[in-house]
Amino acid sequence: MNIIKVKDQDLGGKEAFNIIATAIKNGAKVLGLATGSSPITMYNEMTNSDIDFSNMTSVNLDEYVGLKADNDQSYHYFMNEHLFSKKPFKNSYVPDGSNPDAAAATSEYDKIIADNPIDVQVLGIGRNGHIGFNEPGSPLDGKTSKVALTESTIEANKRFFDDEKDVPRYAYSMGIGSIMKAKKIILVAYGENKADAIAKTVNGPVTEDVPASALQNHPDVTLILDDAAASKL
C-alpha cells in the first residue's frame, strides 16, 4: 500500500484529485465514488478544476434503503450537491434505495458495475473498518447486497439527521469483491477516530472483521491520511 501523509483534509483533497487527474490523462473513464465527509475536499478540487467529466461515468458505492434520490439525506442527493450539479458526468450510477426489492436492486447494480469496469475507486473508511457499507463480517469477495448497518455506523451517521431514529437501518452496498476489481484505489481518512481502523487495515491480518484489510491484497492502493489518522501506524 502507498501511504501519503498530509497536514490536513484540504491537502488530502488535492492529493486525491491529482491521482484522479493523472488517471484521467492516462485514459480512465469510470470513477467509483464515495459519500461521507472524507471525500468532500476532493470533490471541491474536482468542481474547481477545468477537467471535463461529461464523457465519463461514475459508479457510487452505496445508498440507504428507503430513501428516494430527492431526499436530502440520500447519497444521490449528496452526490448531486457536491459534484454532479457542478460537474456532470455522462452517466452517474448510485444504487436505487427507493427499490424495496433487494434482489432486483442489487442484481441491477451488479450489472451496472460489470458493464462499467471501475478505473479508480475512491473510498472512505468507517471507524470499524467498513468500506462502502460492508460492515465487519462481510465476505471479502462479495457483490452488491442489502446490508444492515451496525450500531457504530448508525451512531456515526446520526450527525447528518435531525433524530437518530431517522437514520436508515439498511443500505445497498457494492461488495468488497467488486471494490477489489477496480484498477486503482484511493482511500482517504482524516481524524483520530479513524486511527485504529487504519492501523488494522495496514498492519493487521486480512480478515472479515476489518473489511478494509482486504485492500492489502490489491496491487494499487493509495491511502491519504492526516497525522491523526496515521497516528497508530
Active site residues: 62, 128, 130, 135
The CA–CA distances, whole Å, from 41 to 15, 16, 36, 135 equal 10, 9, 11, 25
How far apart are the C-alpha atoms of 232 and 15, rounded to whole Å? 21
Run of H or E residues at 170: strand 170-173
Per-residue b or e along 202-217, where b marks 16 or more CB atoms closer than 10 Å to that residue's CB: bebeeebebbbbbbee
41 binds ligand F6R (CB under 6 A): no
How far apart are the C-alpha atoms of 12 and 93, rounded to whole Å? 25
| Residues pairing with 3 in the sheet | 223
Least Å distance, CB 22 to ligand F6R, is 22
Q: Residues 32, 126, 129, 168: which binds ligand F6R (CB under 6 A)?
A: 126
45 binds ligand F6R (CB under 6 A): no
Nine cell digits for residue 33: 465514488
224 binds ligand F6R (CB under 6 A): no
Least Å distance, CB 60 to ligand F6R, is 7
The residue among 55 and 175 lying less far from ligand F6R, judged by its C-beta, is 175
38 binds ligand F6R (CB under 6 A): yes
Least Å distance, CB 119 to ligand F6R, is 18
Nine cell digits for residue 126: 468507517
Whether 216 contacts 187, CB under 8 Å: no
Residue 212 per-residue DSSP state: G
168 binds ligand F6R (CB under 6 A): no
Of 80-88, 110-118, 122-130, 213-221, which part binds ligand F6R (CB under 6 A)? 122-130
Q: Residues 12, 32, 95, 124: which binds ligand F6R (CB under 6 A)?
A: 124
Whether 14 contacts 45, CB under 8 Å: yes
> Binding string to ligand F6R for residues 51 to 70, with x set by CB under 6 A, is what?
----------xx--------
174 binds ligand F6R (CB under 6 A): no
Of 28-36, 41-49, 81-89, 107-115, which part binds ligand F6R (CB under 6 A)? 28-36
The residue among 13 and 36 lying less far from ligand F6R, judged by its C-beta, is 36
Phi/psi of residue 111, nearest 5 degrees: -65, -40
Run of H or E residues at 123: strand 120-123
82 binds ligand F6R (CB under 6 A): no
Chain residues binding ligand F6R by CB under 6 A are 34-38, 61-62, 124-126, 130-133
